[in-house]
Amino acid sequence: MNDLTKDTPAPAPAPAGTPLVELTGVSKSYGNVRALREVSLEVHAGEITCVLGDNGAGKSTLIKIIAGLHPHDAGTYTIEGEQVRHTSPREALDRGIATVYQDLAVVPLMPVWRNFFLGSEPTKGRGPLRRLDVAAMRGTTHQALLRMGIDLRDVDQPIGTLSGGERQCVAIARAVHFGAKVLVLDEPTAALGVKQSGVVLKYVAAARDAGLGVVLITHNPHHAYLVGDRFILLKRGTMSGSHLKKDITLDELTREMAGGSELDELTHELMRRTTTAPPATDPENPA
């Protein structure tokens, strides 16, 4: 057998414990604006990595790099031990990186099943008789949602009639169904009330329990601490902290995200002004 007929050897599997996604010293600039500076994180199967930060901290830029929307300028980005440099979201999706953005990118007037398969519709028939396999899409959507614990009354209802939390859950179930290895969630609870936020976090945990690696982008330390295993804190494009859950309490996480010593200084200043303010006078009984 000559070299041309030999089978190409399959790539060696990544060693046990290798992160599904790992960013090391990643930086990104837009012209003279440094959006990210030497940020590192790991995403492991069956774990949730939470990225916390206020507006302008660099969370959106980090999402775009992981999702393949923007390439990084410096540092390394590896998927299961293989260094990559995505040039499009399709490349990231083909490698198992599914991103659910805050606006969800759904078509409100289309039924749930149509949004579930949007861009990946199965067909039946050939040639001029080729058409969408509507029955298969309806049945698959219903079963996929049930597997995630989501029991919709009717998958034919427009997705715009669902609550914000329900739409987030459909998007999570869709990513799981289409074989995502890593699920990136952009502020999934930002516009939701307490009850709906709890529902979404329940399904985020369900995705983790299904073996996915999850990246949860949020500015809410309470939500992060409920489900997170690892915490990355960003401030003005740089890392201000990196912790495992076992190494930090909720109070410490909240304090660190709120500014730590800066918060202490502000609290001291406000208390000083309160205690030194002159007493209010009664206009009817002046001193």
| Alpha carbons 115 and 112: distance in angstroms, whole number | 5
18-109+181-270, what's its fold? Answer: Rossmann fold (3.40.50)
What are the boundaries of each domain within the chain? 18-109+181-270
Containing 119, the helix (H) or strand (E) segment is none
List the chain pLDDT tens, one digit each, 287 residues. Answer: 444 444 545 445 556 678 999 999 999 999 888 899 999 999 999 999 999 988 888 899 999 999 999 999 999 999 998 999 888 888 999 999 999 887 777 888 999 999 999 888 888 888 888 888 899 999 999 998 888 888 888 899 999 998 888 888 888 888 888 889 999 999 888 878 888 888 899 989 999 998 999 999 998 999 999 999 999 999 998 999 899 999 999 999 999 887 655 555 655 566 666 666 566 566 566 55
| Alpha carbons 106 and 118: distance in angstroms, whole number | 9
| Alpha carbons 228 and 250: distance in angstroms, whole number | 11
**Interstrand relation of 33-43 and 131-132 (parallel, antiparallel or unpaired):** unpaired
Contact 144, 176 (CB under 8 A): yes
